[in-house]
Structure 1
Amino acid sequence: MTLRQRAGQQVLEAERTIMRELNASDADGLQEVIGDPHVMGNQARTIEQTRGWIRYHMPGYTEHGFALWAVIAKDRGELIGDCGILYRTIAGGGEFGLGYHLRRDCWGCGIATEAAQAVCDTVGTATRVTSGRCHAAHQHSIT
C-alpha cells in the first residue's frame, strides 16, 4: 500500500482499491452504498442525508489528517464504499475507531479487509485505534 498526495489530497492505494478524500461529487455513488438497507439496516440514508454524511466527515481531513475515505475499485474506477478512521465522542470521552461500508456486490471477496488493513497500517497505529463496529447481521465482517 502507498500513501501519497495528489491534487492536495491524501490518496491511499492498496492492491485492488484507491482511497481518497470524500467530496460533494461522491454523493450519488456513495448513496448506492449507504442508501442500501442491506448495508445500513434501519440507518439507510436518503440522497440528502448522504450529502450531509459527506459534509459531516470532511472536517476530519484537516482536524485529524484523515476521516472516511472514498473507496474506488481500481478495475472499474467506481466508488464502491467508504473506509477510514473516525473520531467519536462516546460516554463523555473520545476515541478513534475504524469504520467502513461497502457496496453489496463487493461483499465476500476481501476488499473491505484489504481497505481496512491499508487504513490501519497507514494511520491506525498513530491514532491507537481501539475499536471497530459492524452490524451483527454482517457475518463476513465479524469473522
Structure 2
Amino acid sequence: MDTITRTERLHVRKMTTDDHLSLARIFEDTDAMHYYAGKTPDASSWLDWTLENYRKYNIGMWVVEHRDDGRFLGQCGIVPHRIAGQVEVEMGYLFVKAEWGNGYASEAARACLRFAFHTLCIPRIVSLIDERHARSVNVATRAGMVKEKELLHRNRHVALYAIHQE
C-alpha cells in the first residue's frame, strides 16, 4: 500500500480500485452527501478521477483507515482546483456517517495538511465549505483553517477557508 501518512489512530493511503465498495458507502448516503457541491459522484467515476489526479499531480483524495483494525473510515486529501479563476490546492474530506463524531476527520485533515506543508512544500491549502454544514466547518477550524471570504462556486454559495504554511 502507498502510505501517505499515519497518526496515532489513522492510516492514510492512496486509493486503489479495491476501494470501490467502501467509497460507495459514502456516495450512496444522502446524509453524507447532503452538502456536496454538484452532482453526487458514483464510486467508479470518483476512483477514475482520483487515479488520474495521482498520475497528473501526484496528489488526490486518500483513503483513511483505522490503524487498529484497518476499517475504512472515509477519505481526505488535497486536489488542484480552479476557484474564482485561479488554481488553488483544495483539501476535501468525506467520511462514513457511522464514523462521524469520533474526531477522525479532524485528525485526518491535520495529518494531510502536515504532509502537504512539510513533504510537498505546498504553501497554501483551501477548503470550500457550505457553512450550513457545521461538521465540515468544525473540521476545517480544528485543522487551523480560517474563513477568508464567501463566494459563488458551481452555482452555490460557499465559504473559502484557508491555511498557510508556517
Give the TM-score range, shorter chain: 0.7 to 0.9
* Runs of 4+ with >6 A deviation: none
In structure 1, distance between residues paired with 2:95 and 2:130:
12
Give distance in 1, aligned partners of 2:40 and 2:68: 27
Kept in 2, the 8 Å contact 1:11–1:21? The answer is yes
Q: Structure 1's 135 and 21: CA in aligned 2 closer, same or farther, altered over 3 A?
A: same
Question: Which segment drifts farther, 33-42 or 49-58?
Answer: 33-42
Residue 133, structure 1, aligned to residue 128, structure 2 = yes
* Aligned counterpart for 1:32 among listed residues 22, 25, 38: 25
Q: What is the rounded CA distance, in whole Å, between the counterparts of 1:26 and 1:54 in structure 2?
A: 8
- Structure 2 portions without partners, runs of 5+: 139-166
TM-score, reference length from structure 1: 0.81
**Identical pairs, percent:** 25
Q: Which has the higher contact order (CA 8 A, sep 6+)?
A: 1
Deviation at 1:76, TM superposition (A): 3.0
Inter-partner Cα distance in structure 1 for 2:12 and 2:75: 8
Question: Does structure 1 retain, via aligned residues, the 8 Å contact 2:3–2:11?
Answer: no
How many Å separate the matches in 1 of 2:85 and 2:127?
Answer: 18
Report deviation, 1:128.
2.3
1:1-143 equivalences under 5 Å are 6=1, 9-41=2-34, 43-45=39-41, 49-124=42-117, 126-143=121-138
Q: Alpha carbon RMSD of aligned pairs, Å?
A: 1.9
SS at match of 1:83: strand
- TM-score, normalised to structure 2, is 0.71
Q: CA deviation at 1:98?
A: 0.8
| Count of matched residue positions in the alignment of Structure 1 and Structure 2 | 133
State whether residues 96 and 128 of structure 1, in contact with CA within 8 Å, keep that contact through their aligned partners in structure 2.
no
Counterpart Cα distance in 2 of 1:119 and 1:31: 22
Supply the distance in 2 between the matched residues of 1:68 and 1:95 (Cα, whole angstroms): 15
Deviation, 1:139, is 1.4
Give the C-alpha shift of residue 137 in structure 1: 3.8
